[in-house]
Amino acid sequence: MLPFARVTVIGLGLIGSSILRAVRVHMPTVRLTGHDVDPDVRQTVRALDLCDDVTDTAGAAVIDADLVILCVPVGIMGDVAAGFAADLPADAIVSDVGSCKASVQAALRAALPGAIVIPAHPVAGTERSGPEAGFSSLFHKRYCIITPEEGADETAIARLESFWEKLGADVERMDAAHHDLVLAVTSHLPHLIAYTIVGTASDLETVTQSEVIKYSAGGFRDFTRIAASDPTMWRDVFLANKDAVLEMLQRFSEDLSALQRAIRWDKGDELFELFSRTRAVRRSIIEQGQDDAREDFGRTHE
Amino acid sequence: MLPFARVTVIGLGLIGSSILRAVRVHMPTVRLTGHDVDPDVRQTVRALDLCDDVTDTAGAAVIDADLVILCVPVGIMGDVAAGFAADLPADAIVSDVGSCKASVQAALRAALPGAIVIPAHPVAGTERSGPEAGFSSLFHKRYCIITPEEGADETAIARLESFWEKLGADVERMDAAHHDLVLAVTSHLPHLIAYTIVGTASDLETVTQSEVIKYSAGGFRDFTRIAASDPTMWRDVFLANKDAVLEMLQRFSEDLSALQRAIRWDKGDELFELFSRTRAVRRSIIEQGQDDAREDFGRTHE
C-alpha cells in the first residue's frame, strides 16, 4: 500500500532531486513528475532520467498529482504555490521541505486557500547544490519534522508520514513555532556562525588567504563545509526565521563575551569547565546515530 | 640516513602516541623512548608496545636521546622541561608540538638555558585524546610548522625538518609570532566558537537538550566534533595565545554584529553577498588537499 500514486516535485536541486531518486528506489511504481523554473536544471533532470515527466510549467506538473512537494527557497514558496494554484487538484496534498515552517505555512495558506497543506522539513542535506548533487539515501535515518496546523486532516498527515518513512526517514510531529526555535539553534545559528568566521578569516590583513587555506586543518576547515551551502536558500532562511535566529544569536554573543572575558582575565577554570561539558554533547550525538561514529567524521587520512 | 637515532617523546596522548606509531612505520630502526606523568597512560603505552622503553621519570627518558619532543599542554611545557633539564644531553635537540609557539619558545628557553630548542607545530589532530587515539598516518600530508629562533643552528633545523618529512608532513618555517596569529584564526578561534555554540545550545530553556541532539544534523553536529577536543590542552592554548585570540575574536564579533543587523533590517543582499563569497574558500581548501573532497566530509549516509 503506497501512500501516493502520483508525486510531483517543484524545485529540482539537492533536496528535490534526492526525493525523486529516493522515490524511484523505495516506491518504484509511483509516477514522478518534476518542474524547475531553470531550463538548464530541467534539461539536466531529463538527461539523468530522474522522473517520468519534467514539465515546463508548475501548473502542468501538479495537474494530476496526489502529492506536491515544494523544494524551493523559503522566500518564494508563496509565489511558486500561487503559480500553480489554479491547476491543483482539490484532493492533492501540498507539502514542502523548507527549513523554517511558520512563515512557509502562512505563505502556502495564503497562496492556496482551501488546499490541503501539510508542511514538512527533512533535516538532511549536504554543502552541495543542484540536481546532480542529490542521492537516494540522503534521508535515510534522518529526521523529517511534520508541522501540521491545528485541525489538519489526520488521514492526510498519516499519508505524508508514511511517504517519508518509506524514504527512510524517522518522522516527528511538531508545532511550527517550536520547530523554528529548535532549528534556529541546531541549524540556522551554526550556519550563520560558519558563514561569519569564513568571512572574518577572508578579510584579514595580517594573515594571507593562502595561509588560512593551508593551515585550515587546525579546525577552520570544519566551518567551511556548511559555509559552502546554497546562498539563496540561506539568505531566505535567516530572513524568514528572523525572530528565533536573533534570539539564539543574542544568547551566543553573550556566551562568547563571557569566554572572551575569561581569556582576558586568565580564568582558566571557567574555560576548563565549559570545555569539559561540551564533550558529553558530542558523545550523545554519536550514541543516537546522528553523526558518523568514526573520528574526524570519518575523513580519510591517507 | 636517518636524522635521529634515539627519539624521546614526553607526553603520550593523541599526538605523542601518533609520533611513536609514525616513527615505527617510517623509521623502524630508531630507538624510541616514551614518558608520561600518568602511570595509567604509561601502562597503556607499554601494553600497546608503542616504543622500546617507557620510563617512570622524564629525566630517565631523555638521558641518551638525540631528539626530545614535548607533547604536553602548552601551559606546562616549561615545568616539564625544567624537570628533565639536568639529564638532557648537551647535543640533544628539544622540540615540541604545541599549538602556540611564542610562549612555548620563551618557556623552553628559560627552562633549558643553553639547550638546542627548535619549536614545531604539526597542524593535525582529531577530537579524541589519549594513547589509544593515536595513529601512524595522522601527520600524512598535513603541515608541520617549525619556528626556529633567529640564529638557530641550521643543521639542527634541517634534521628536525627531515624528521617531520619522514613522518609524511609538509614542513614550513615561520616566525613564532606570525604562527600564533595564523593559528589564532585557522584553529584557536574555530575551537573557541565551537565550544561556545555547544555551550549555548546546552543552556536553553525553550529547546531541550534531547531536541538539540536529535536535530543536530542540520549543522550543529559539525561544531560538536571540535568542541569534544581535550579541555586541558585548549584551556592552555587560549591563555597562552591570548593577544592573538582576543584580536581575532574581536573581528569575528564585529562581523557577527554586522550580520545580525542585516538580518534585523532585512538586508538580504548583504547576506547573499557574504554567503556567495565563502563558497570559494571551501573550494580552495579541497583543491589544495586540506580536506576530504567527498561531500559532507565523506560521512556515511547508510
**H helices within chain A, ranges in order?**
14-26, 39-48, 58-62, 77-84, 102-111, 154-166, 176-183, 189-202, 209-214, 220-226, 231-240, 242-264, 268-287
Would an 8 Å CB–CB cutoff place A47 in contact with chain B?
Answer: no
Residue type present at position B142: R
Tell me the per-residue pLDDT of A176-186, one tens digit each, with 9 for 90 and over.
999 999 999 99
> What SS3 class is residue B114?
coil
Tell me the per-residue pLDDT of A5-59, one tens digit each, with 9 for 90 and over.
999 999 999 999 999 999 999 999 999 999 999 999 999 999 999 999 999 999 9
Q: How far is A60 from chain B (nearest CA, A)?
A: 31
Would an 8 Å CB–CB cutoff place A275 in contact with chain B?
Answer: yes
Q: Which residue has the cell 534539461?
A: A43
Tell me the per-residue pLDDT of A13-27, one tens digit each, with 9 for 90 and over.
999 999 999 999 999
Which candidate in A101, A200, A205 is best for mutational testing of the B interface (most B CBs within 10 A)? A200
**Ramachandran category for residue A263: left, alpha or beta (phi over 0 → left; psi -120 to 50 → alpha):** alpha
Give the pLDDT band (50/70/90) at residue A301.
Answer: low
Contact check, Cβ <8 Å, A282/B128 = no
Pairing of β B143-146 and β B120-122 = antiparallel
Which candidate in A172, A225, A257 is best for mutational testing of the B interface (most B CBs within 10 A)? A225
Positive or negative, the CA dihedral A188, B200, B266, B259 is negative
Q: What is the pLDDT of chain B when averaged over all its residues?
A: 96
* Residue B201 confidence (pLDDT): 95
How many alpha carbons lie under 13 Å from residue B246 in its C-beta half-sphere?
A: 13
**Tell me, what DSSP letter sits at residue B187?**
I
For residue A120, the cross-strand partners are: A146
Positive or negative, the CA dihedral B98, B99, B105, B107 is negative
Q: Give residues with Cβ within 8 angstroms of A99, minimum separation 6.
A: A74, A121, A183, A187, A188, A233, A237, A241, B218
Going by C-alpha positions, the residue among A2, A49, A59 that lies closest to residue A21 is A49
Task: Please give the helix or strand (H or E) that residue B171 lies within, else none.
Answer: strand B170-173
Contact check, Cβ <8 Å, A200/B252 = yes
**What is the C-alpha to C-alpha distance for residues B236 and A166, in angstroms, rounded to an integer?**
49
**What is the C-alpha to C-alpha distance for residues A102 and A175, in angstroms, rounded to an integer?**
9
Residue type present at position A272: F
* Residue A285 confidence (pLDDT): 92
Q: Are A258 and B179 in contact (CB under 8 A)?
A: no
Give the pLDDT band (50/70/90) at residue A134.
Answer: very high
CA dihedral A211, A216, A221, A222 (to 10 degrees): -150
Going by C-alpha positions, the residue among B155, B88, B96 that lies closest to residue B115 is B88
**What is the C-alpha to C-alpha distance for residues A228 and A126, in angstroms, rounded to an integer?**
9
* Residue of chain A whose alpha carbon sits nearest to that of B75: A268
**What is the C-alpha to C-alpha distance for residues B286 and B302, in angstroms, rounded to an integer?**
24
Q: Which residue has the cell 517543484?
A: A10
Would an 8 Å CB–CB cutoff place B196 in contact with chain A?
Answer: yes
Positive or negative, the CA dihedral B18, B292, B126, B128 is negative
* Residue of chain A whose alpha carbon sits nearest to that of B129: A295
What is the 3-class SS of B61-105, one letter each residue?
HHCCCCEEEECCCHHHHHHHHHHHHHHCCCCCEEEECCCCCHHHH
Q: Are A278 and B224 in contact (CB under 8 A)?
A: yes
Angle subtended by helix axes A242-264 and B242-264, to nearest 10: 160
Question: Is residue B172's pLDDT more than 70?
Answer: yes
Would an 8 Å CB–CB cutoff place A226 in contact with chain B?
Answer: yes
Look up the pTM and report it. Answer: 0.93
**What is the C-alpha to C-alpha distance for residues B150 and B152, in angstroms, rounded to an integer?**
6
Going by C-alpha positions, the residue among B14, B8, B9, B10 that lies closest to residue B234 is B14
Domains of chain B are 6-174 (3.40.50.720), 178-265 (1.10.3660.10)
* Residue A302 confidence (pLDDT): 62
Pairing of β A170-173 and β B53-55 = unpaired
Mean pLDDT of A207-228: 93
Pairing of β B120-122 and β B116-117 = unpaired
**What is the C-alpha to C-alpha distance for residues B61 and B54, in angstroms, rounded to an integer?**
8
**Tell me, what DSSP letter sits at residue A123?**
-
Distances in whole angstroms, Cα of residue B99 to Cα of each of A1, A275, B145, B178, B238? 59, 17, 10, 13, 10
- Exposed/middle/buried for residue B53 (C-beta within 10 Å: 0-12, 13-18, 19+): middle
Tell me the per-residue pLDDT of A65-106, one tens digit each, with 9 for 90 and over.
999 999 999 999 999 999 999 999 999 999 999 999 999 999
* Residue A295 confidence (pLDDT): 87
Instruction: Tell me the percentage of chain A whose pLDDT exceeds 90.
Output: 93
**What is the C-alpha to C-alpha distance for residues A275 and A279, in angstroms, rounded to an integer?**
7
* Residue A1 confidence (pLDDT): 86
Mean pLDDT of B68-86: 98
* Residue of chain B whose alpha carbon sits nearest to that of A281: B224
**What is the C-alpha to C-alpha distance for residues A185 and B16, in angstroms, rounded to an integer?**
36
Nearest CB to B277; choose among A202, A284, A290: A202
Residue type present at position B22: A
* A-B contacts at Cβ under 8 angstroms: 371
Would an 8 Å CB–CB cutoff place B298 in contact with chain A?
Answer: yes
Q: Are A87 and A60 in contact (CB under 8 A)?
A: yes
Question: Is residue B301's pLDDT more than 80?
Answer: no
User: Which A positions 199-218 lie with beta carbon below 8 A of chain B?
Assistant: 199-204, 206-207, 209, 211-218
User: Which A positions 12-31 lie with beta carbon below 8 A of chain B?
Assistant: none
